[in-house]
C-alpha cells in the first residue's frame, strides 16, 4: 500500500443530523451578529472582514459537527457546509430586511412588543422568499450604504458587492470544512480520530520530495526519526505522525520550517506532503 490517506466515505444519518444541527444554530447566530456589526460600523472594508469571518466561523462550526459525528465523507462535508452557508446568507438577508422595514429601523431600543413583531416579520420573510426578493430589489434601487465621498451605492455595483458577499460566506465555509477534520486520518479499527504524536520529530530540511518519498517506499524509516541537531540549522523539517493506540496503521505529514531571521519575523512553514501511509507498525 503506497498512498495518501483518503476518507473511508462513512457518514451515518445521526452524524449528518448532528453536524447539520450545529451548523444551523451557528448559521442563525452568526448571520444576526454579522448584520448587527455591519450596522454598528457601516464601513465597506469592515463589512468585508465580517463576511469573511462569518464564512470561516461557520466552517469551523461545521467542522466541529464533523469531528463529533465522525463523518469521513468529503462529499457529505461539502454539502453540509454549502447548506449551512446558504442558510446563513439567507438568514442575514431575512434579519436585515426585517430591521430595515421595521418602524424604528436598526436600534437596540426595542420594547417587548416590537421585538415580537420583528421576530414575526422575520418568520414571515423566511417563509416567503418571493416577497423577500422583491424587497431586496427595492433596497437595491435606493442603496443600503454609502462610501465616503459619494452617495449611496446602488444598482449593478451593489449587486456585485452582494455577489462578493455571497461568495465569501459560502466559499469560506466550504474551504474550512474541506480542509478540516474530514481530511484527517481516522482509525476505523478504534472508531476514533487519530491523534498527532507530540512533540513532533525534527529532521533535516527536505529539499527533494520525490527522493524522500522513495526512501519511505523502500521502508527507510530512519529518515523520520528525531534529529535534535536539525533545529540548529537555517532550515529544518517537522514530522507529524498520526496514530491511534492499538491500531498498527500510521500516517505521516512532513512540513519544512524556516525560522525567523533578518526582516522575516515569523516562522514560515511549507507542507511537503500530508497524511502519507507508512505501513503497519513502522519502527518510528
Alpha carbon separation from 144 to 10, 91, 96, 100 (Å, rounded): 45, 17, 10, 9
pLDDT for 127: 96
In angstroms, the first-to-last Cα distance of the chain is 18
pLDDT at 132 over 60: yes
pLDDT for 245: 92
Element (H, E) at 168: helix 155-178
Which one has a higher pLDDT value, 39 or 110?
A: 39
Contact 179, 271 (CB under 8 A): no
pLDDT at 147 over 80: no
pLDDT at 148 over 70: no
Give the pLDDT band of residue 111 (cuts 50, 70, 90).
confident
pLDDT for 102: 79
pLDDT tens by residue, 66-106: 999 999 999 999 999 999 999 999 999 999 999 888 776 67
Rounded to an integer, what is the distance from CA 154 to the centroid of its chain? 31
Give the pLDDT band of residue 254 (cuts 50, 70, 90).
very high
CB proximity list for 86: less than 8 A, separation 6 or greater: 170
Contact 68, 23 (CB under 8 A): no
Average pLDDT, the chain: 91
**Percentage above 90 pLDDT, the chain:** 70
* Backbone angle region of 190, left / alpha / beta, with phi > 0 → left and psi within -120 to 50 → alpha: alpha
pLDDT at 1 over 50: no
Mean pLDDT of the region 161-179? 95
Mean pLDDT of the region 27-45? 92
pLDDT at 201 over 80: yes
176: number of CA atoms within 13 Å, CB side?
28
Mean pLDDT of the region 8-19? 96
Amino acid at each position: 500500500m503506497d498512498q495518501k490517506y483518503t476518507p473511508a466515505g462513512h457518514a451515518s444519518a445521526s452524524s449528518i443530523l448532528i453536524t447539520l444541527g450545529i451548523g444551523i444554530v451557528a448559521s442563525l447566530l452568526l448571520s444576526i451578529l454579522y448584520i448587527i456589526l455591519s450596522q454598528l460600523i457601516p464601513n465597506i472594508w469592515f463589512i468585508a472582514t465580517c463576511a469573511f469571518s462569518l464564512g470561516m466561523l461557520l466552517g469551523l462550526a461545521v467542522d466541529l459537527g464533523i469531528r463529533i459525528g465522525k463523518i469521513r465523507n468529503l462529499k457529505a462535508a461539502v454539502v453540509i457546509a454549502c447548506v449551512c452557508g446558504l442558510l446563513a446568507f439567507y438568514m442575514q438577508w431575512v434579519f436585515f430586511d426585517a430591521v430595515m422595514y421595521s418602524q424604528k429601523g436598526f436600534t437596540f431600543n426595542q420594547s417587548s412588543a416590537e421585538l415580537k413583531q420583528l421576530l414575526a416579520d422575520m418568520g414571515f420573510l423566511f417563509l416567503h422568499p418571493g416577497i423577500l426578493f422583491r424587497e431586496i430589489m427595492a433596497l437595491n434601487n435606493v442603496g443600503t450604504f454609502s462610501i465616503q465621498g459619494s452617495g449611496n451605492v446602488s444598482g449593478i455595483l451593489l449587486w456585485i458587492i452582494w455577489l462578493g458577499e455571497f461568495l465569501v460566506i459560502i466559499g469560506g465555509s466550504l474551504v474550512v470544512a474541506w480542509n478540516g477534520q474530514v481530511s484527517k486520518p481516522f482509525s476505523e479499527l478504534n472508531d476514533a480520530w487519530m491523534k498527532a504524536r507530540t512533540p513532533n520529530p525534527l529532521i533535516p530540511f527536505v529539499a527533494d520530495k520525490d527522493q524522500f518519498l522513495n526512501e519511505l517506499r523502500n521502508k527507510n524509516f530512519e529518515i523520520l526519526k528525531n534529529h535534535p541537531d536539525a533545529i540548529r540549522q537555517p532550515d529544518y523539517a517537522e514530522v507529524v505522525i498520526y496514530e491511534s493506540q492499538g491500531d498498527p496503521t500510521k500516517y505521516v505529514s512532513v512540513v519544512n520550517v524556516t525560522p525567523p531571521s533578518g526582516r522575516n519575523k515569523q516562522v514560515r512553514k511549507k507542507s511537503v506532503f500530508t497524511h502519507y501511509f507508512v505501513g503497519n507498525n513502522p519502527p518510528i
